[in-house]
Structure 1
Amino acid sequence: MTDIASTGIANDVLRLAEGWIDTPYRHQASLKGVGCDCLGLIRGIWRELYGQEPERPPPYAPDWAERGGGDRLMEAALRHFGPPLPLVEARPGDVLLFRWRPQLAAKHAGILCGERRFIHAYEQAAVVTSPLVPSWRRRISGVFRFPER
């Protein structure tokens, strides 16, 4: 992963993501300072960048990835961000998707904020900056870049 200086949309994404830090974790929510989950964080940044969301997700249970079949988070990322980037091309401001096991659907998302850190909604806590330690890094299943405005 590169840690080059971000430009354009990436700077805006990082600034916006940092503004969500300390927002409490709330399943299915997407309101800065009030509550969000990992998808809600990405949705909120998208709204701040573009004015509205490209689609509203249907209600989902905490175990949606285990019960629902398919890879809905990855499919939505492909629809709205385009093809995934190689991990070696990841840069600050990019969206990271994670899957807990190779055969399971992607279930978590965050924003890369440096070569070794990312911002995400940590379940049972809040939006935080976490180290991108090997246990997180090996679970990255997709890298996506916000489209230019």
Structure 2
Amino acid sequence: MTEFQHRIVTEARAWIGTPYRHQASCRGAGADCLGLVRGVWRAVCGAEPERPPAYSMDWSEPQGEERLWAAARRHLRELPNGEAAPGDVLLFRMRAGSVAKHLGIVTETGEAPRFVHAYSGHGVVESPLSGPWARRVVARFAFPKEDG
């Protein structure tokens, strides 16, 4: 693991235990999955490049628009599908036919892969990247490095 990846994983794990709060991004006080990624961004990359507009719990499902995926493409580096690395941001489609609307940060790979995410009803947790979760991954991204 590189030093940059280590910083991302350490920061993501520092958010564990933060309560789930829709649209929030405050470690210890509240975060949703986007808020977690935004908070890690602030810690490892600096100021956020874009303030997300207000969004509903169903994201953009009624419109069928992949707004979260588009925002990830604007600010993160899209990676080819394949083996995830520590610090990667995963984008999940929670149901077939719906828009991708959940994010997590890979913390462990190999035999027992894990990721940190803010999950409604649970808060920020570290979960096994088990088959049911892995099957929902639709895209993988990396944070931009500090040097651009």
Q: Tell whether the 8 Å contact from 1:106 to 1:141 is kept in structure 2 after alignment.
A: yes
- Letter of the aligned partner of 1:12 in structure 2? R
- Letter of the aligned partner of 1:145 in structure 2? A
Q: Tell whether the 8 Å contact from 2:78 to 2:142 is kept in structure 1 after alignment.
A: no
Runs of 5+ consecutive residues of structure 2 not aligned to the other structure: none
Pairing 1:5-84 to 2, within 5 Å after superposition: 6-84=1-79
| CA deviation string 1:10-69 (max 9, x = no partner) | 111001001100000000000000000000000001011122111010001101231243
Which is helix-richer, 1 or 2?
1
CA distance in 1, matches of 2:67, 2:79: 15
Per the alignment, residue 99 of structure 2 pairs with 105
Q: What is the root-mean-square deviation of aligned Cα atoms in Å?
A: 1.2
Q: Tell whether the 8 Å contact from 1:87 to 1:142 is kept in structure 2 after alignment.
A: no
TM-score, length-scaled by structure 1: 0.91
Q: Secondary structure at the match of 1:45?
A: helix
Could you list the runs of 4 or more consecutive aligned residues of structure 1 that deviate by over 3 angstroms after TM superposition? none
TM-score, length-scaled by structure 2: 0.91
Greater CA deviation, 129-138 or 78-87? 78-87
- How far apart are 1:81 and its partner, in Å? 1.0
Q: Does 1:132 align with 2:129?
A: yes
Q: Tell whether the 8 Å contact from 1:71 to 1:105 is kept in structure 2 after alignment.
A: yes
- Letter of the aligned partner of 1:126 in structure 2? G
Runs of 5+ consecutive residues of structure 1 not aligned to the other structure: 1-5
CA distance in 2, matches of 1:93, 1:19: 13
- Letter of the aligned partner of 2:90 in structure 1? L
- How far apart are 1:102 and its partner, in Å? 4.5
Which is strand-richer, 1 or 2?
2
Give the counterpart of 1:145 among 130, 134, 142: 142
- Letter of the aligned partner of 1:45 in structure 2? V
Give the counterpart of 2:120 among 120, 123, 148: 123
Instruction: Count the aligned residue pairs.
Output: 143
Greater CA deviation, 62-71 or 132-141? 62-71
Give the counterpart of 1:93 among 87, 96, 99: 87
